[in-house]
Structure 1
Amino acid sequence: MKTIFFSMLLLLQAAHATAGGAEPELRVCSLTLAPQTMEDADGRPAGYAVEILRHVAAALRWRIRIDYMPWARVASETRAGRCDMAMTVLYFKDYAEYMLFPRESILDQKNVLVVRRDSRIKYDGDLEKFMRRRSIGLYADKRVNDEFEQLRHASWARVDTVATAALNMRKLLVKRFDAIVENDLNIIHEMRKLGRLDDVEILSPPLSVTPAYIVFAHKPESEARARQYDQALASFKKTAKFKTLTSQYLPETAVAD
């Protein structure tokens, strides 16, 4: 009888320890999109969004693992629940079907038209007129807004889709098309790294200015995690460390004092 009692007691203690133990490791899936998400010189995850998530995760005592992969796989892994979180994501209705968007965004992402500076091409805000006159380069899975999505599928549109953002930029530099669509932070980061920032011009106005998020897969525990995340991120945004990160990674849009 005592043996049965002590066996049951040990089982209850083990169950209690598991329930009260550390959170399971959260798998975060991401494409590489500098300076938000990228690899450092040693091949480790780095970037603005990565640093923000690490600070929030530390405050919440979450253990995270960041895996880089193409966007199509990020989407499929998140839909299947094999990723607990994904970054960085713009809000679209079809994404919201399998991604839980928190309240707090990490930045406002600008999608812009970029041309070679020597082309002297201008943009007055009429996207259809621009696209009827100019050829556009776009990397696979790039989403901008509903207007662009509609125009790019028009019979007259000249849109060349390539595999990666880096290839899209290289093709622009060698005059394979007139303009590319890119987010302004990525084009500044990559062209500066190539020493070619002065060779391109970012046209105004932007095509879209959209909040970018770190999102959660639709799982039973995700709603509670998203609430915790929102509180922790809102608190972190008030700190000097957040301003320092913004100045480090996004100098063109640094937070004012």
Structure 2
Amino acid sequence: MANPQEPYKFQENGIIQGIDIEIVDIVMKKLNIPYVIKFIKSDARIQQEAQKGRADMLLLFSKRKSREEYLLYPEESYVNITWNFFIRAEDENKITFDTFDDLKGLTIGATNDISYTPAFFDANLRLEMAPRNDLQIGKLLKNRLDAVPMNTISTLYEEKKKGNLEKITFLPKPLKSKPYYNVFSKASTYPNIREIHRKYNQIIKELKADGTIQNIFEKYLSKQINIPNS
């Protein structure tokens, strides 16, 4: 089961697709396991289905101690949900981010009701607030901002669709980053679910090593993304 979210897992023109969908399809074919992906627009509902054994596998969940009571987490992650500072391509090598002091004197975008990090708000940066996150790249390209922290993968995907990828880039050091995993239900009645979990982990490791996962990311983003080591 999965909560639809582009570019990871979504349905378009009746076709289920996305980064996670392609990776899971490769894994299941290697395991010779038939499968069906069901979309539910609620992470809470999806987790309830896993607790009751009505979902065998959930796509793209962060690790929490409370969830480990009913979910099996693999060692391998191939997705970090990361926020990086985006800048105009013409400002590459002109703007850097190692510490927040590097951003002093610049106009930095921020969106109401997004938490970012405590350090971000404590850095006394010159912030220009916006009511919606989807306004930020447009403001950047109109020179109203010098940099703006955004969800890296989602932003690259959306700006690729708009034809803006050549106009923007992002600073390599993330503002924040957290690994996400495809997880298995401990309550699943599917035969040998724990052995499948073990084999899944090994296959993901192999797909990372041979470049398969990197190629899938670049298909959707047209830019290289660092794949987590674990």
Q: State the TM-score, normalized to the length of structure 1.
A: 0.60
Whether the 8 Å CA contact 2:83–2:149 is kept in 1: the answer is: yes
1:80 matched residue in structure 2: 48
1:32 matched residue in structure 2: 5
Whether the 8 Å CA contact 1:49–1:106 is kept in 2: the answer is: no
Greater percentage in helix: 1
Greater RCO, 1 or 2 (C-alpha within 8 Å, sep 6+): 2
2:137 matched residue in structure 1: 172
Whether the 8 Å CA contact 2:40–2:46 is kept in 1: the answer is: no
1:125 matched residue in structure 2: 98
- Give 1:200's aligned amino acid: I
Q: 1:193 aligns with which of 156, 161, 183?
A: 161
Whether the 8 Å CA contact 1:45–1:66 is kept in 2: the answer is: no
1:47-86 aligned at under 5 Å gives the runs 47-60=18-31, 61-67=33-39, 69=41, 73-74=42-43, 76-82=44-50, 83-86=55-58
Secondary structure of 1:228 counterpart: helix
Whether the 8 Å CA contact 1:57–1:64 is kept in 2: the answer is: no
Whether the 8 Å CA contact 2:109–2:136 is kept in 1: the answer is: no
| CA–CA distance in structure 1, aligned partners of residues 137 and 30 of structure 2 | 43
Q: State the TM-score, normalized to the length of structure 2.
A: 0.65
1:254 positional shift = 8.0
Secondary structure of 1:89 counterpart: strand
Kindly provide the CA deviation profile for residues 78-104 of structure 1, in whole angstroms up to 9, marking residues without a partner as x.
332355433323445566566432112
1:217 positional shift = 4.0
| Rg larger for | 1
Query: Structure 1 residues 104-113 or 168-177, which shifts more?
Result: 168-177
Q: 2:216 aligns with which of 245, 249, 253?
A: 245
| CA–CA distance in structure 2, aligned partners of residues 137 and 94 of structure 1 | 31
| CA–CA distance in structure 1, aligned partners of residues 91 and 108 of structure 2 | 13
CA 1:254 to 1:117, structure 2 compared with 1: closer, same or farther past 3 Å? closer
Q: 1:106 aligns with which of 52, 66, 78?
A: 78
1:22 matched residue in structure 2: none
Whether the 8 Å CA contact 1:135–1:178 is kept in 2: the answer is: yes
Whether the 8 Å CA contact 1:152–1:159 is kept in 2: the answer is: no
**Unpaired segments of 5 or more residues in structure 2?**
none
Kindly provide the CA deviation profile for residues 204-253 of structure 1, in whole angstroms up to 9, marking residues without a partner as x.
32224544322234536564442232234345556686575355345533
Q: Give the superposed CA RMSD.
A: 4.2
Kindly provide the CA deviation profile for residues 182-211 of structure 1, in whole angstroms up to 9, marking residues without a partner as x.
343332221121122244331232224544
1:37 positional shift = 2.7
2:170 matched residue in structure 1: 202
| CA–CA distance in structure 2, aligned partners of residues 240 and 111 of structure 1 | 23
Aligned length: 213
Kindly provide the CA deviation profile for residues 134-173 of structure 1, in whole angstroms up to 9, marking residues without a partner as x.
554359788xxxxx533367697869686xxxx5233431
CA 1:38 to 1:102, structure 2 compared with 1: closer, same or farther past 3 Å? same
1:233 matched residue in structure 2: 204
Secondary structure of 2:134 counterpart: helix
| CA–CA distance in structure 2, aligned partners of residues 238 and 204 of structure 1 | 22
Secondary structure of 2:187 counterpart: coil
